[in-house]
Chains A and B, each alone.
Chain A
Amino acid sequence: MKQILVISGKGGTGKTVITGSFAALAKNKVMVDCDVDAADLYLLLHPEVKERHEFISGQSAVIDKKLCKQCGKCIPVCRFEAIKSDFSIESFSCEGCALCSYICPHGAIRMEENVAGEWFISDTKYGSFVHAKLGIAEENSGKLVAKIKQVAKELAEKQKSEFVIIDGPPGIGCPVIASLSEVDCALIVTEPTLSGLHDAKRVMEVAAHFNIPLKLIVNKYDLNLSMTKKIEEFCREHNIPVIGKVTFDKTVVKALIEEKTIIEYGQSMAGDEVRRIWEDLSDEFSLGFRS
């Protein structure tokens, strides 16, 4: 079983559109959406939720007003500026370290378990899908990512799936690092803009830092051909295979508006290119890539 992660550095380059197409093309796989704070893949896959689980992560401080003497010892020790001058906790700032509860001389601060989100195992017409919803203004997205990746991997082993295909988050921080763990290939989707290249370079460095093999797709490549050339040159210098270039195609938005993958929407230039990319990718993996 091989795990393929789609990432980008910069947001909005087309990760989910391409991952959604892979869902329609790959035969025997489990799909995962690791962009847990702005999860969108479900809008294309229309999941029927089979299992729903609470994601309990960390704790939050709660001040008991009856016991609190307002002595003020807790405020300066909190490095997250989560205790307000009226001795209430700003829950979205509290990182659950519990230091205030140890420091309080009156036993007025207790720690409560924090439900930080939910995760799901669903059926879709393209097979199993593991996804999640981080609670509003919650943290610990990296832990939730690690959790759903683990669930997906176990499910794929049980179902003898050939692939786990993962839609990744933007950026280079904790959810991206959690997404990269144990994957066989990180597929970077970028766009031919200075920011697209700048951000792709940073996420490539992160993947290299964790020894993850890389491949790259230039999406909307014909919006700026000279920038596409620059990206290709950069990849050649760094031995990163550019495995596809996808046309700027208005069909992509039309399919999106109907909440369909570009593959099921009907014939299109972008769809044909993504189909070809997936065929090459799945061929390469069945030949024992990175073995």
Chain B
Amino acid sequence: MIISVASGKGGTGKTTLAVNLALSLNNLQFLDCDVEEPNAHIFLKPHISYKEKVFIPVPNVDETKCTYCGKCREVCAYHALAVLPGCAEKKGSFLVFANLCHGCGACSLLCPQMAIKEVNKEIGIIEAGNKAAIDFIHGFLNIGEAMSPPLIRQVKKHINPGRIVIIDAPPGTSCPVIAAVKGSDFCLLVTEPTPFGLNDLILAVEVLRKLKIPFGVVINRSDIGDDKVNDYCRKENISILMQIPFSREIAVSYSEGVPIVVRNASYKDKFINLYADICRITNETNTCH
């Protein structure tokens, strides 16, 4: 069972929900896929026992084989290569703009001289460890690196299908979110009852419908705004699985990096119930404990 936690709008409470749900369940693996700004480790404080660098393949030319024909430049859809043909007194040159490269492999596969090899370029790191019985994995995108999806896909290679997997996704609705939530059995969309929360919830719902992932909504700080999120969910037949009223206790606990179920164990039941609801919706009651 893979449950992702996403939101559209940032700062609605994805990490709060993901971390507290994780701490309320057993047999659990936690993946922080918000590799641009991973935060779950602040709350879970895992013991890190494993570290790996993550690379993407970028082209590297063997200039003794290259004839500067320009085929690679022609096939590169991302304009990540420049080739200047040589002339009588000067040999040609070959430039790679590694930040534009998506690592598709077209240039090396299609080079008529087989002059292009792919070399690894580091884009970030993955760390893994545990917090008590919770398996923990997260990724950190290197500073100045533009593309997070390859790192997210790499974090997800660590998924252990024998466990309940919780994925903390990045905000937004574009490629990093899709990379994070793709393949989930269920997605929790966290929102807040404001025009910004509603606007971005609608976008996130469209994404999940396109990906055909079942989902439900959690309204955080549910008493600060208006009823339009509720009205929207009712009209669209979307289940609201949990409402968390604003509480200074939760806000302060969050600011200090302490999950609310650690400070106040009475919250655990709400998260256990939330998980039971997810199981009911995904019809996997047999495999849920």
Please encode chain B, from 167 to 200, with 1 for each CB lying within 8 Å of some chain A CB and 0 for all others: 0001111111110001000000000001110011
When distances are taken between beta carbons in the complex, the residues of chain B under 8 Å from A58 are 77
When distances are taken between beta carbons in the complex, the residues of chain A under 8 Å from B182 are 93
Contact of A256 among B143, B194, B255 (CB under 8 A): B194
Which chain B residues in 215-233 approach chain A with CB under 8 Å? Answer: 224-226
B37 & A43 in contact (Cβ 8 Å cutoff): no
B102 & A173 in contact (Cβ 8 Å cutoff): no
> Please, which residue of chain B has its CB at the minimum distance from the CB of A39?
B199
Q: Is B48 interfacial (CB-CB < 8 Å)?
A: no
B252 & A223 in contact (Cβ 8 Å cutoff): yes
Binds A, one of B3-11, B125-133, B261-269: B3-11
When distances are taken between beta carbons in the complex, the residues of chain B under 8 Å from A37 are 172-174, 177, 203
Contact of A11 among B9, B42, B225, B255 (CB under 8 A): B9
Task: Evaluate whether A77 and B37 lie within 8 angstroms (CB atoms) in the complex, with A38-B171, A137-B207 already known.
Answer: no
Please encode chain A, from 156 to 183, with 1 for each CB lying within 8 Å of some chain B CB and 0 for all others: 0000000000000111111111000000
A-B contact count (CB 8 A): 182
When distances are taken between beta carbons in the complex, the residues of chain B under 8 Å from A210 are 144
When distances are taken between beta carbons in the complex, the residues of chain A under 8 Å from B29 are none
> Please, which residue of chain A has its CB at the minimum distance from the CB of B143?
A205
A177 & B146 in contact (Cβ 8 Å cutoff): yes
Task: Evaluate whether A253 and B36 lie within 8 angstroms (CB atoms) in the complex, with A103-B109, A141-B174, A206-B144 already known.
Answer: no
B143 & A206 in contact (Cβ 8 Å cutoff): yes
Once bound together, how far apart are the Cα atoms of A196 and B257, in whole Å?
10
When distances are taken between beta carbons in the complex, the residues of chain A under 8 Å from B206 are 136-137
> Please, which residue of chain A has its CB at the minimum distance from the CB of B252?
A224
Q: Is A232 interfacial (CB-CB < 8 Å)?
A: no
B254 & A102 in contact (Cβ 8 Å cutoff): no
Q: Is B12 interfacial (CB-CB < 8 Å)?
A: yes
B256 & A173 in contact (Cβ 8 Å cutoff): no
* Most A CB within 10 A of own CB, among B37, B78, B148, B170: B37
Which chain B residues in 72-121 approach chain A with CB under 8 Å? Answer: 75, 77-78, 102-106, 109-110
Once bound together, how far apart are the Cα atoms of A33 and B77, in whole Å?
27
A194 & B255 in contact (Cβ 8 Å cutoff): yes
Q: Is A213 interfacial (CB-CB < 8 Å)?
A: no
B147 & A174 in contact (Cβ 8 Å cutoff): yes
When distances are taken between beta carbons in the complex, the residues of chain B under 8 Å from A11 are 7, 9-12, 171
B37 & A98 in contact (Cβ 8 Å cutoff): no
Once bound together, how far apart are the Cα atoms of A205 and B146, in whole Å?
14
When distances are taken between beta carbons in the complex, the residues of chain A under 8 Å from B147 are 173-174
A194 & B144 in contact (Cβ 8 Å cutoff): no
Interface of B is mostly: loop
When distances are taken between beta carbons in the complex, the residues of chain B under 8 Å from A227 are 255-256
Once bound together, how far apart are the Cα atoms of A206 and B10, in whole Å?
19
A170 & B10 in contact (Cβ 8 Å cutoff): yes
Q: Is B145 interfacial (CB-CB < 8 Å)?
A: yes
A79 & B75 in contact (Cβ 8 Å cutoff): no
B200 & A173 in contact (Cβ 8 Å cutoff): no
Task: Evaluate whether A97 and B194 lie within 8 angstroms (CB atoms) in the complex, with A38-B8, A171-B171 already known.
Answer: no
When distances are taken between beta carbons in the complex, the residues of chain B under 8 Å from A203 are 37
Task: Evaluate whether A198 and B39 lie within 8 angstroms (CB atoms) in the complex, with A38-B203, A97-B104, A99-B104 already known.
Answer: yes
A195 & B146 in contact (Cβ 8 Å cutoff): no
B141 & A173 in contact (Cβ 8 Å cutoff): yes
Contact of A10 among B11, B178, B225 (CB under 8 A): B11
Q: Is A9 interfacial (CB-CB < 8 Å)?
A: yes
The 10 closest A-B pairs by CB, nearest first: A11-B10, A12-B11, A97-B104, A171-B36, A174-B146, A193-B255, A194-B257, A224-B255, A139-B175, A99-B106
Given A99-B109, A138-B174, A202-B36; 10 other pairs, CB 8 A cutoff: A12-B12, A12-B171, A38-B10, A92-B210, A134-B174, A136-B207, A175-B174, A192-B255, A193-B255, A198-B37
11 of the cross-chain contacts (CB-CB < 8 Å) are: A11-B11, A12-B9, A38-B8, A43-B199, A80-B104, A97-B105, A170-B171, A192-B255, A193-B256, A223-B252, A227-B256
**What is B's interface to A at a CB cutoff of 8 Å?**
7-12, 15, 36-37, 39, 42, 75, 77-78, 102-106, 109-110, 141, 143-148, 170-178, 182, 194-196, 199-200, 203, 206-207, 210-211, 224-226, 251-252, 254-257
